[in-house]
Structure 1
Amino acid sequence: MTDTASTPLDIPSLKDRVSADEWQLRVDLAAAYRLVALYGWSDLVFTHISARIPGPEHHFLINPYGLMFDEITASSLVKVDQACNKLDDSPFPVNPAGFTIHSAVHAVREDAGCVLHTHTRAGVAVSAQRDGVLPISQQSTFVLASLAYHDYEGVAFREDEKPRLQADLGDRRFLMLRNHGLLTVGRTMADAFLNMYVFESTCQIQIAAQSGGSALTQVNPQIVEGVSHAMKVQTGGLGGAFAWPALIRKLDRIDPSYKT
């Protein structure tokens, strides 16, 4: 009897059909999908991570809709335009409704090389709390230094929601989608992923602390004001690039097939 769980998808390699820059971006984005699955942030086949392909065309890479995040490879990622129309002969479908939030961010943020969105239990739980992220942990100070909120308007597929989401996000790196989940923006995939790691940790810590039943001690607001410098010190000024090579080595030890 064949173990279908271990049978790889038959996906032809695109390595020799795209530019070196696009291929590296595909590898990094596929790695991000695998890492999201590894850390337990995926929501079956739902939610998305998008990456803008270098160049003036405003083309993007997004996941093939219907694949689990731990199945995604560099070659299976689908190239789309700003309206989520497929730009190459991919056998996989895409989810235009799921790209609405991502396209809204990419359209107004030149620094948004990558946009990462999750529906984790801790993230949604905190997004449903009236006060949102509380300043009760070191992790929360990094988030609060660049955090925005966007009110829930139903499943995000309507074009008229985009201007409101764009206005709410502004120039922030972290966006809490009320009653919905978490979103991070990064210049690179490494930055977007590290931002989400901190955001998700913040929410998990908050839910755990609240479950203890005791009054919570809050961080001095002046500490939040100086946190940007502290983050640069922590990462040697490299941001997400400081942790990314170690994450890639971790993936390579587990399953390097994301690079195919």
Structure 2
Amino acid sequence: ISARVPGTHDEFLINPYGMLYEEMTASSMIKVDIDGNVLFNASDYDVNRAGYVIHSAVHGARPDVECVIHTHTLAGMAVSAMDKGIMPIAQSSMRFAEIAYHDYEGPALNLDERARLVADLGDREAMVLRNHGLLTVGTSIAECFNSMFRLERACQLQVMALSCNAEIRLPPDEVVRHTQHSYQPTTRRRWGLMEWPALLRKLDRIDPSFRN
């Protein structure tokens, strides 16, 4: 996970490589620039090379993006290996009817892959990294998390539906397009606008120390 440093164009915070998400706090994040220079690191951990390549690619090419999340969940990796990608199985899946795809090139260690990755992403908010995992971006952390949460649920749903050994009923293309369009955010209602404050309240109830 990474987040652009407010007020900058070429600096972002990224999670330390080797630290569990449940161990992380705000002060655990490492500040780096687009060129990979570490500007601040209060931990004993380093930055994952592949993570830097992927996240710096997006932050460098998309000034509208404030946050990037990349995951290797079981459901996400399973769907990333499916030729049809995200299927419009249910209403929540149809939000991603126009999701981007990026073909697997091996571990993302080479800087030259960045250009191809952002070209495939375009101006979209979500992408399936084929045979790899999932990627979402957002104009805020809340928006990015919301997209990843919904995308992960769509993948879980697809894996469950396909495991039932029953014929999948898909809606007509025009219905899928209409549903996908209805999910698009507006200037008044961005993705995650309601969910994020609720999640922060939940975290405050569980353990407010995450803020430190």
- Shared topology, TM-score over 0.5? yes
The equivalent position to 1:139 in structure 2, one of 92, 95, 107, is 92
Matching residue of 2:63: 110
Residues 180 and 233 (structure 1 numbering): CA distance in 2 closer, same or farther, change over 3 Å? Answer: closer
Q: 1:153 aligns with which of 101, 105, 114?
A: 105
Give the Cα–Cα distance (whole angstroms) in 2 for the partners of residues 124 and 217 of structure 1: 23
Change (3 A) 1:212 1:154: same
Distance 1:155 1:258, change over 3 A: same
Figure out how many residues of one structure are paired with residues of the other and give that number.
210
Q: Residue 249 of structure 1: which of 194, 197, 201 is its match?
A: 201
Work out whether 1:208 is the aligned partner of 2:208.
no
CA contact (8 A) 1:84 1:96 kept: no
Is the counterpart of residue 224 in structure 1 residue 165 in structure 2? no
Is the 1:143–1:198 contact (alpha carbons within 8 Å) kept by the matching residues of 2?
no
Instruction: Give the gaps of 5 or more residues in structure 2.
Output: none
Q: Deviations over 1:123-182 (max 9, x none)?
A: 0000001111111111111011x4000000000110111111111111111100000000
Structure 1 segments of 4+ aligned residues over 3 angstroms from their partners: none
Q: Which residue of 2 aligns with 1:20?
A: none
Pick which of 164-173 and 53-62 moved more.
53-62
1:222 partner SS:
helix
Match of 1:16 in 2: none
CA deviations 1:33-84 (Å, max 9, x no partner) are xxxxxxxxxxxxxxxx000012244110011222110111111111111123
TM-score (norm 2): 0.93
Structure 1 gaps of 5+ residues are: 1-48
Query: Which whole-Å CA distance do the structure 1 matches of 2:38 and 2:80 have between them?
Result: 32
Q: Following TM superposition, by how much is the alpha carbon of 1:89 offset from its aligned partner in structure 2, in angstroms?
A: 5.0
% identical aligned pairs? 50
Q: Hey, what does 2:135 align to over in structure 1?
A: 183
Partner Cα separation in structure 2 for residue 57 and residue 129 of structure 1: 36
Cα RMSD of the aligned pairs, angstroms, is: 1.8
